[in-house]
Amino acid sequence: MKAEAAAHAEEDAKRREEADTVNKADSLIFQTERQMTEYGDKIPADKKQPIEDALAELKTQFEAKNMENLQPAMDKLNEVFQAASQDMYNAGNEGGEAGAEPTDETGAGEEEVTDVDFEEVEDQK
pLDDT in tens, 89-102: 777 776 554 444 44
- CB-CB contact of 37 with 51 (8 Å): no
Other beta carbons within 10 Å of 107: 8
pLDDT band at 36 (very low <50, low <70, confident <90, very high): confident
- CB-CB contact of 77 with 51 (8 Å): yes
What is the percentage of the chain residues whose pLDDT exceeds 70?
A: 82
Considering the chain, what is the average pLDDT of its residues? Answer: 80
> For the chain, give me the number of helices (H) and strands (E)?
4, 0
Distances (CA, A) of 50 to 95, 108, 111, 114: 25, 41, 47, 53
Distances (CA, A) of 68 to 28, 31, 63, 118: 17, 22, 13, 72
Dihedral (Cα; 84, 90, 93, 97), 10-degree rounding: -150
- Would you say residue 4 has pLDDT above 60? yes
pLDDT in tens, 62-108: 888 888 889 999 999 999 988 888 877 777 776 554 444 444 444 55
What CATH code is assigned to 12-93?
A: 1.20.1270.10
